[in-house]
Each structure stands twice: as C-alpha cells, then as structure tokens.
Amino acid sequence: MSKLPTPHIAATEKDAFAKTVLMPGDPLRAKYIAENFLENAVLVNNTRGVQGYTGYYKGKRVSVMASGMGMPSIGIYSYELFNFYDVDTIIRVGSAGAISPELHLRDVVFGMGACTNSAYADQYRLPGTFAPIADYGTLQNAVKAAERLGVKPYIGNLLSSDTFYDDANSLSEWQKMGVLAIEMECAALYMNASRSGKKALAICTISDCPLSSGEECTALEREQTFNKMIEIALEATE
C-alpha cells in the first residue's frame, strides 16, 4: 500500500505527522495533550474518533495520536505511522497497573522490555520466542528527562496482556519474575518498531494497585492528571 490516507488514518500528506509521535491509549488524553502542551496544534486525524494532532513543543515539531485499547489496536496505528507516514519514534504514554510491591499510584514506569501473553509475534514465523525491547537511546533520553524533572524513574519489564478481566488471575506469578506493571499495548508497539526498523518506548503512569492497596484512578484522572509522564515524553523528543 502506498496511497494515503490509510484505512485508519485520514491524513493525506506523508508529513502530516512529526518524526516523533506520543501515543496515549485514550483519544481524550491525546486531545488533552494537544490542547495543554503543544503550540499551534492541528487535528490531522479523527477517523473513528481516534484523534491525532501535530504541533510544537518548545520549538520541536511533535505529534500525538491515540492508539485505542489493546495490541490489535496499537498494532494497526503504529504500523501505519511507521510504514506509511514516515514516523521514526513512537512513545506510548499510557496507564498501567502495579505488579511490583515497590510501585504506588502515579509512579512513572519505563518499559525496558515487554513480556506478553499475546500471540502477536506468531505472524513473524520465528523459530523461537522474540523478546520485545525499547529503543535504548529513547529510553536513555526519557530517564534523563525524568531526573531533570525530579521524577524517580522505575525501569524494567512490563507485562502486555490481551486480557483485562483475566480468569487465571496470575499477576503474582509475574511478580515473582520481577515484572513491574501490567498494561495492554507495549509488546505490539515494540514488535512493530523492530520489524519496521524504527524506535519505540513505553512510559506508563501507575493508575491502579491491584495486588496491594487496591487504589485506582478515575477515568477523568487518567485523562487529565498524568502530566509528569507527558512532560517526560515531550522532553525526551529529539
């Protein structure tokens, strides 16, 4: 496929998106980021209500577009951005549930790698198990940005799950392996980046603590109050 727009993104110009795209799951968080952090933001996609904007942050051209929920959804959008819109880097800015007992509500986690219960990698017909990892340079930039902003970085493995309501209830098993938090998109993003020869990083804010306090953020809080994570991602853009 070479013609634009794609089946899921309405932008007709290849350069409608900046080289770096921030990607929250929630379309309303994409709108919030564009309206509160970017200058001269222009709506470049609203197909199926998945809002995408391009603007400027401290003089740097940056885009933000939602991914929706789950690996099939971020798999589609990140693939089209990497392969059809010439995007170089996607930074997921999402929410995650704490697995590690060291994590608390609103802590910021950096996905150095992504474990998964998904069969997403089966499409590549590999003779083994693929280990999805972040781009090291982008991770390094983000950790340095966090430290400048006074935010403690928690760095390690995330678990990308295909299920939100999981009958197996196996989080304690992942905790034994040192996995920090659970979310639903990172592994597919990292695999698409690897296959496309591009860069990706997941930065997540802890929105609930299912194994400890049981605390959780509201939908509105997830949409509008995870500013530390957003600032880190924007400061890490090149």
Say which residues have a Cβ less than 8 Å from residue 52's Cβ, sequence separation at least 6. Answer: 9, 11, 17, 21, 30, 43, 44, 45, 46, 63, 64, 65, 66
Task: State the pLDDT at residue 233.
Answer: 98
Per annotation, catalytic residue among 26, 88, 135, 208:
208
Q: What is the pLDDT of residue 168?
A: 82
Enumerate residue ranges in the chain where pLDDT < 70.
Answer: 1-2
Q: How far is CA 136 from CA 2, 79, 143, 202, in A?
A: 30, 20, 10, 12
Q: What is the pLDDT of residue 90?
A: 98
The CATH fold assigned to 14-236 is Rossmann fold (3.40.50)
- Give 194-227 pLDDT, tens digit per residue: 999 999 999 999 999 998 888 899 999 998 999 9
Catalytic (active site) residue 208: yes
Domain ranges for the chain: 14-236
Nearest to 189 by CA among 106, 62, 101, 93: 93
